[in-house]
Structure 1
């Protein structure tokens, strides 16, 4: 299954593009932001998701290219992503007349979703968030880098203390160029990207999600290879769900890996996304109807 659609430039200054598939004249769309090292068509479930959105909701699917996409993540930041997403959502509302917009973040795209919903100028344009595969980059790096983890964290912190946070770390750190700031953000306790670690105190989790008023669901994979085996996944899912004041619950795909590679789990995921959007739309329509009735009463 392949996606066909239209490539558009949403930010002419930096030539950043978006790819829209499905009914492009629809007022409803889902914006998808992938994770580190990803770009267009990065996830195997995207064609099926596009099909579900079009057939069941009449929505289009929009994939977005950010400066941080592919090899650019290490010289960017969540703040940079939010600024670019603000430009994207302005384009979608003013140039494409979109009035129903939802946001799906995958992996580190979940950090983008939370950051945008907390600080984006156009955050009110998004009616709902889906966080697919919210995992801790820090805990994964701790388990995968072994003794090198501490060495790199100390190097990043020393560079930041020396006023060199935007300079690149040594080449051996990653295949992509990485600044001391971004490595520290991803790898250090309390870094800007450190939102989904299992050892974050519950009060700190609540603070991370406290500014998010947009309805959201989190979708977790039971066989997520980026969550170290020693972590209590059930407790982590419970804590993350309870810490978010706008959460409408969590979905667990027991047989899915991080990217939801198997078709059965993809189908469950796509159905969950459609059901979530429908639930949010019903609530919005009820609120809009109540406002119209209230205004009608005032005019009398």
Structure 2
């Protein structure tokens, strides 16, 4: 399926763009934030998701290009993503009349989602988040990169020498990567280290308690980026318990990291639609109650 929509520049200074498909007149939109190496059309479920959002909810799907998209992640930070997302949400509020945004974070986009609703200036417009494929870069790198320990020590040494913003040797990653970013992804307690199975519950709770809006987590039973040594069920349970605003966790038993199979895509889209419907009902009820109280005070 080909997505038809509008490509817009949301930040003229950096020439960063967004792509909106579906009912663009809606004041509610779903913002998809991809992971490392992702750009537009990053995952196979986006066409089906776009269709479900349009038909079931009458809302649009927005994909965003950040400086960290594609191979740019190696020289970016999560906070830089937050600043660029702030520019996007300012554009959506002021130029596109968007009043309710739901974020779907895929993979490292989940870190962006958590970071944004913790530090973003426009976080009040975000009414809910979906974390899909939230996995530990650190655990994946430590189990799959042959010289993981050597590279981590190199990154630490460069940072200690005041060279954290310098690029590491070419062999470290497929993209040019600074010592700061590699450390963030690969080190215990790095800025990107949010979903590792060995993070103490207290630390996880401290992270998730900053999220004030509802969220759901969607996990893939055959996620190839989770090492076999990790107890997936235990990890999923711990992540959900650590979040005070989590409305549930959905496990797609046959899905891989990007949800390639169609049956899992259908289940995922249904879960997203039902989550948004539930949150919107609660928001409408709250707004009606506030309006009623205001009217009573005005009498």
Please state which band the TM-score falls in when normalised by the shorter chain: over 0.9
Query: Equivalent residue for 1:2?
Result: 2
Query: Equivalent residue for 2:73?
Result: 73
Counterpart Cα distance in 2 of 1:118 and 1:75: 22
Query: Equivalent residue for 2:250?
Result: 251
Corresponding residue SS for 1:294: helix
Counterpart Cα distance in 2 of 1:25 and 1:299: 33
Structure 1 position 297, deviation (Å): 1.4
Runs of 4 or more above 6 Å deviation: none
Structure 1 position 119, deviation (Å): 0.5
Aligned pairs (5 A) from 1:7-156: 7-146=7-146, 148-156=147-155
Aligned pairs (5 A) from 1:172-251: 172-251=171-250
Structure 1 position 207, deviation (Å): 1.1
Corresponding residue SS for 1:251: strand
Structure 1 position 104, deviation (Å): 0.4
Counterpart Cα distance in 1 of 2:207 and 2:159: 23
TM-score (ref. length: structure 2): 0.99
Structure 1 position 100, deviation (Å): 1.8
Pairs aligned (count): 299
Counterpart Cα distance in 2 of 1:253 and 1:145: 27
Query: Equivalent residue for 2:156?
Result: 157
TM-score (ref. length: structure 1): 0.99
Q: Please report the RMSD computed on the Cα atoms of aligned residues, expressed in angstroms.
A: 0.6
Deviation string for 1:203-224 (max 9, x for gaps)?
0001111211011001000000
Deviation string for 1:161-201 (max 9, x for gaps)?
00001000000001100000000000000000000000000
